[in-house]
Amino acid sequence: MKTVNALMLACALNWSTGAAAAESAIPPRDEVEQVLVPLSVGEFDGAFGSHFVIEMWMRNDGDQPARIFRLVSDCPRPHFCTTVAVPDTPVPPRTTVHVAPLENGYSDKLGEFFWVDKVAAQKIVFSLRVRETSRSSSSAGVDIPTLRESDGSGKMRLQLLNIPVEPGFRHTLRIYTLDYLRDPSIVPSQRIRIFDLATDELLVDEPILFYVFEGEGPSTYTIEPYPNPFSSFLDKYETLQGHSKVRVELESNFFKFWAFVAVTNDATEETTIIAP
């Protein structure tokens, strides 16, 4: 379980330099909005010699400073860890800033949560982009959606349309749980269904497991999304042979979630993001 109490003290890092700042308290959870950043900022190696650069910019388009921070575990000595917020310095009004990777190896490609003052949240703009650089440096990359808590982005059933399944592509399904029903009588059940896009013929219908953190939801802080990546998730389904494009349906009776599929061309390493 990776939830934290809002009364824990925080130390901070500057967005651009990583320089230490003064300690301050993490705000109460009901004063901030959670923003899901599905892929963490940084550079990562992939299959077939690919190399991906994930960069993020954000803008405070409001007239007042806005605090925007991430939470990380700080372990200054063995068996002693606290949760810290980085950075502490608010983003000035009418200002655009580049988001650097977290130091000390905190970032990984499975995603992050950002936290924004609720009073300023509607004036904050995020841009997350992934670019593959091993084949060509000419591409500007592809934008990845960021999910705001206030948008009600967590669904219990969603559709991913127009996914190509011809040979020469690889597919990664990423699922992010955001909340769950507070009903202990429900036995969690999730399913993945795959249909031919044109005919709606059912090709796959089977259970799928969601991994989650206990207590995640709108009343608690969760340091990071629980990793739910399913690499090459379509390869095992022989029933997809002979079909060119499919629709993927995900459904849960218990969890509110969001998901997308990254489709990568094996020859060019060009990536397409298919989101709801």
Token pair in block for residue 128 = 């997350």
pTM of the model as a whole = 0.84
**Gap between the Cα atoms of 109 and 55, Å rounded:** 11
pLDDT at 157: 97
Residues 109, 30 contacting (CB under 8 angstroms): no
Residues 73, 83 contacting (CB under 8 angstroms): yes
Residues 117, 257 contacting (CB under 8 angstroms): no
Instruction: Name the amino acid, one letter, at 203.
Output: L
The torsion defined by the Cα of 207, 253, 223 and 42, in degrees rounded to 10, comes to 50
pLDDT tens, 218-232? 889 988 888 788 988
Q: What angle do CA 67, 75, 116 make, to 5 degrees?
A: 15
User: β-strand 271-274 against 255-265: which pairing, if any?
Assistant: antiparallel
Instruction: Name the amino acid, one letter, at 274.
Output: I
Is the link from the previous residue into 276 a cis peptide, with omega within 30 of 0?
no
**Gap between the Cα atoms of 82 and 140, Å rounded:** 39
Residues 6, 83 contacting (CB under 8 angstroms): no
pLDDT tens, 167-218? 999 999 999 999 999 999 999 999 999 999 999 999 999 999 998 888 888 8
Token pair in block for residue 4 = 């934290």
Domain ranges of the chain: 3-274
pLDDT at 128: 96
Instruction: Name the amino acid, one letter, at 104.
Output: N
Q: How confident is the model at residue 5 (pLDDT cuts 50, 70, 90)?
A: very low
Secondary structure of residue 219 in the 3-state scheme: coil
Token pair in block for residue 226 = 């629980």
User: What's the Cα-to-Cα distance from 131 to each of 16, 218, 275, rounded to whole Å?
Assistant: 21, 32, 17
Query: Given CA atoms 236, 229, 100, 106 in this order, what sign does their dihedral have?
Result: negative
Residues 116, 42 contacting (CB under 8 angstroms): no
Give Dmax (Cα) for the chain: 61
Q: How confident is the model at residue 273 (pLDDT cuts 50, 70, 90)?
A: very high
Instruction: Name the amino acid, one letter, at 129.
Output: R
Q: How confident is the model at residue 250 (pLDDT cuts 50, 70, 90)?
A: very high
